Amino acid sequence: MDQPNIISVQGLCNTFGEQVIHQDLNLEVRRGEILGVVGGSGTGKSVLMRSIIGLQEPVAGKIRVFDEGMIGKEEDEASDVRRRWGVLFQGGALFSTLTVAENVQVPLREFYPDFSKALLDEIAHYKIYLSGLPADAAHKFPSELSGGMRKRAGLARALAMDPELLFLDEPTAGLDPIGAANFDNLTRDLKETLGLTVFLITHDLDTLYAICDRVAVIADKKVIAVGAIEELLAIDHPWINEYFSGPRGRAARRGHDKHNNNPQPELHQPGRS
């Protein structure tokens, strides 16, 4: 067990006014894993992510990322941690007045002002390719992109710094099934090639089965279970049962089993979509 935890959350409490979102929530993310976070709508998955990346000040609890406490850090502090993570927000959150290529270059310019313009352009170029966008998207503005392309552009920006830790907030929501499967493959490829640790919020059961090493279930204001899907299936909790054994859960499992029994040759490559 020499796998150090990249993220550790202890006793987290979040409230919005009277409403309690998290109560004594604990979670650990290990190096090199893809951790899926699931939970019903409004259970505070995004709030948990925002707490970890320092956008939401919790009422109580400890949060450590790369072994550094993150609570109470201002935007200009903890830049050593910030340059080691990338975040993909639900809507992409691209800077609307910059082109896609410029969006990708924003974190690079911020942290490495010495990089030459040529190198920045080359980095933006291959990041855009890696995230699966067509090359001519580089000079487009976010308003000229479709929702799926905006997500990929957001991923390209999240990957700009070659992060060790990647936060993905519902990356496949709003993508067509082919696009979603491509995005899953892309995430797994990136994890394997770059050795990423991924914190993935999703509603997509196919994504959970396809790429997640472990899954954390949020319900009743805390993480009620963490483990591989097979382990979760053994747990007797009404929400977990309903989630994984409902019609969609069963369909996703069947698809996954079928895929495993007839292994297909690996055809995908990053960026082919």
Partner 1 sequence: MANAAEFLQEDLADGGQILRLSGSFTIALIGDVDGRLRDLSANVRKIDLRAVEHMDTVGAWLVHRTAKASGAEIVGAGNDASRLLQAVSGADQADIPPRPHPPSFERFLAEVGHSVVISFTTLLQFLGFVGQVVKASFILAMNPGRFRWHAVVQHFDMVGVRALGIIGLMSFLIGIVIAQQGAVQLRQFGAEVFTINLIGRLTFRELGILMTAIMVAGRSGSAFAAQIGTMKITEEIDAMRTIGVVPAEALVVPRVIAAVMMMPLLGIFASLMSVIGGGLLCWVVLEIPPATFVQRLREVTPMTDFWIGMIKAPVFGAIIAMAGCFQGMQVHGNAEQVGLKTTAAVVQAIFLVIVLDAFFAIFFSEIGWN
Residue among 51 and 99 whose Cβ is closer to partner 1: 99
Closest distance between partner 1 and the C-beta of residue 213, in Å?
A: 19
Binding-residue total with partner 1 (CB under 8 A)? 37
**CB of 200 within 8 A of CB of 120?**
no
Whole-angstrom Cα distance, residue 190 to residue 268?
A: 12
Whole-angstrom Cα distance, residue 85 to residue 124?
A: 17
Closest distance between partner 1 and the C-beta of residue 139, in Å?
A: 5
Tell me the one-letter amino acid at 155: L
Query: Does 266 participate in binding partner 1 (rule CB under 8 A)?
Result: no
Whole-angstrom Cα distance, residue 62 to residue 105?
A: 32
Task: Out of 112, 147, 235, 251, point to the residue binding partner 1 (CB under 8 A).
Answer: 112
Binding mask of the shown chain, residues 131 to 150, with x at each position contacting partner 1 by CB under 8 A? ---xxx-xx-xxx-------
Cα–Cα nearest to 167, from 184, 151, 179, 155 = 155
Residue among 16 and 126 whose Cβ is closer to partner 1: 126
Residue among 128 and 252 whose Cβ is closer to partner 1: 128
Query: Does 155 participate in binding partner 1 (rule CB under 8 A)?
Result: no
Query: Does 115 participate in binding partner 1 (rule CB under 8 A)?
Result: yes
Whole-angstrom Cα distance, residue 131 to residue 270?
A: 7
Closest distance between partner 1 and the C-beta of residue 190, in Å?
A: 8
Q: Show Cβ contacts of residue 105 under 8 Å, excluding neighbours closer than 6 positions.
A: 120, 123, 124, 160
Q: Show Cβ contacts of residue 114 under 8 Å, excluding neighbours closer than 6 positions.
A: none
Q: Which neighbouring-strand residues pair with 25?
A: 12
Closest distance between partner 1 and the C-beta of residue 9, in Å?
A: 26
**CB of 131 within 8 A of CB of 155?**
yes
Whole-angstrom Cα distance, residue 252 to residue 273?
A: 22
Binding mask of the shown chain, residues 75 to 104, with x at each position contacting partner 1 by CB under 8 A? --------x------------xx---x---
Binding residues (CB under 8 A) for partner 1: these are 83, 96-97, 101, 112, 114-116, 118-119, 122-123, 125-130, 134-136, 138-139, 141-143, 159, 161-162, 189, 192-195, 269-271
